[in-house]
Structure 1
Amino acid sequence: MELKTTEGGDAPRSTERLMIIMETLSRASAHGLRLTDIVEATELGKTTAHRLLNGLADQGLVDFDEETGRYFIGIRLLSWASAARNRFGIAKLAEPALTRLARKTQDTVYLVGKIGDHAVCLDSREGTFPIKVLTLNVGDQRPLGVGAGSMAIMAAMSDPEIERVMAQQQAERLRYAFSDDRLRDMVAFTRQHGYAFSDTHIYKDMAEMTGMAAVAVALRRSDGQPAGAIHVTAVTPRLTGTRRENVVSMVVEERQRLEDEIRPMLDAGIGTTRVHLA
């Protein structure tokens, strides 16, 4: 896969287009996308999209199923995801906490890190409850405020920082069901109750899909600033009333234990690179 490096600055533009394609495919990882679907979703020209897809396929980053005519995220990314996970050592150190929470709650537990102005899934554990709610894959990233774990991080930030992030990410949030007013209401709820809560689908075009909910609390550095979050996702009836309170108590307990154990790493920062998604 070759990126042009002419004086006109084509390399950054090509990189941006590649990222757009990879992000689009990641949102359709289960069923893949046809070339026409990718062109429509990315607004790239058909010839350009086809050329970039071929280049990604040559490198093992995209798979093409000739029988269905669909493109999928390539298996090579698994090794990259593993390498990234190893870099963020917090994931390995948090394994016991996530495992305990998954065992106690029987639901799905996620660890997310604050990487720049995004929340990135670093690890997860599935519980034993027969109905599982799987909303994130390791490596998935979302704008701050989108989703329970991401909201827990945002609510722990200062008001000026929250306003800055909301302003800068307005375009990126267009496909999500989170207006500025809704984010501010969720920040207020999170600060009042000590945990973030979400029971609606994050995407606008999936708003009718209900029945899932999540609670989350922020992981904080010594100075009180958020470094990440732990959140539990389940079918909605399992996160109501007394049971929600009990689950939140379990998450808070594990959060405190984890903060005490890995304070130096949290203070050093899980990640500082600002992530840009077109």
Structure 2
Amino acid sequence: MNESISSNEAAEMSGESGAQHQNIARAALILEALAGCARQGLRLTDVSRITGLSKTVAHRGLAGLVAHGMATYENESARFFLGDRLFAWVGRAGERFELAERAKPYLLKLAEELEDTIYFAIRRGDESVCYGRAEGSFPIKTLTLNVGDRRPLGIGSGSLAIAAYQDDAEVERLIREYSAARARFQRADALIRDDVRRAREEGFSLTEGYFIEGMTGVGVPIRNSHGIAVASLSVAAISKRLELPRRQQVAARLKVEAALMERELSLLFAQL
């Protein structure tokens, strides 16, 4: 039996796939908008404005989400909210995200000691994902990442700490393949190579004024049992708080906590 498909069939399948991806992307946009206003909910006009979707498309997407339990509609206020089904999914996904919960005490301890914002990131594919954040008591805060934010590897102190300690071939692949993805962060290939070289020389990553003028980040890798950098701890603060010699002291403190996490959470890091 000949199982090959014609060019017309291939084009039709490609079109169907594209439409499915578009529908998923729209649903994700709407869910993100609802999550951002989880307490007060959103009217249809709000969803349309936040997502950039037309009212017709937004209404169709909301209706589908409500039908499948991923959103709810309140008649009295004419507002949409996140649905209960998402809560059930979070519970079922708890094991996968156990690492985020287990990392919290380490982040809180560092934030209390250093008084600045602490970030925990993991590698997912060729991106870093912010898996945790703890805010210190210093009144000027540098909140450059939210939990769940993703960045190309090499962008930001935590992400750079993961990228810099890959082997040379992997670093070059990341630089070469994700040059376009880094363009909006204004980090050209040559600059990333300099960042990697400096991180390896100093033993920690350093970003000074990359995203916000007057803000500095310092990061260290967290390795799995095979010695591969799979996550990172980093601190972000106004630059005056991370000048020498405190910068080195902070990096040393991060390394101590990273080593502790490597030892105590080794089984979870083995899954990354």
What is the TM-score with the length of structure 2 in the denominator?
A: 0.74
Aligned to 2:132: 123
Amino acid of the residue matched to residue 226 of structure 2? D
Aligned to 2:263: 260
Alignment CA distance shift 1:114-1:49 (3 Å): same
Instruction: Give 5+ residue unaligned stretches, structure 1.
Output: 1-5, 64-71, 203-208, 271-278
Aligned residues between the structures: 249
The whole-number CA distance in structure 1 between the counterparts of 2:226 and 2:86 is 35
**Does structure 1 residue 219 correspond to structure 2 residue 222?**
yes
1:5-58 residue CA offsets vs partner (Å, 9 max, x unmatched): x85333234324545x469969x98xx98856754xxxx888657754775688
Match of 1:182 among 186, 191, 210: 191
Contact map agreement 1:86 1:92 (CA 8 A) in 2: no
- Structure 2 counterparts to residues 79-118 of structure 1, below 5 A: 79=87, 87-118=96-127
The whole-number CA distance in structure 2 between the counterparts of 1:181 and 1:76 is 48
Contact map agreement 2:30 2:58 (CA 8 A) in 1: no
- Structure 2 counterparts to residues 116-195 of structure 1, below 5 A: 116-195=125-204
Percent identity of paired positions between Structure 1 and Structure 2? 34
Alignment CA distance shift 1:177-1:77 (3 Å): farther
Contact map agreement 1:85 1:122 (CA 8 A) in 2: no
Match of 1:198 among 207, 231, 240: 207
Aligned to 1:243: 246
The whole-number CA distance in structure 2 between the counterparts of 1:177 and 1:138 is 23
**Does structure 1 residue 269 correspond to structure 2 residue 263?**
no
The whole-number CA distance in structure 2 between the counterparts of 1:82 and 1:182 is 42
What is the TM-score with the length of structure 1 in the denominator?
A: 0.73
Q: CA RMSD in A?
A: 3.8
Alignment CA distance shift 1:81-1:236 (3 Å): farther
Alignment CA distance shift 1:16-1:37 (3 Å): closer
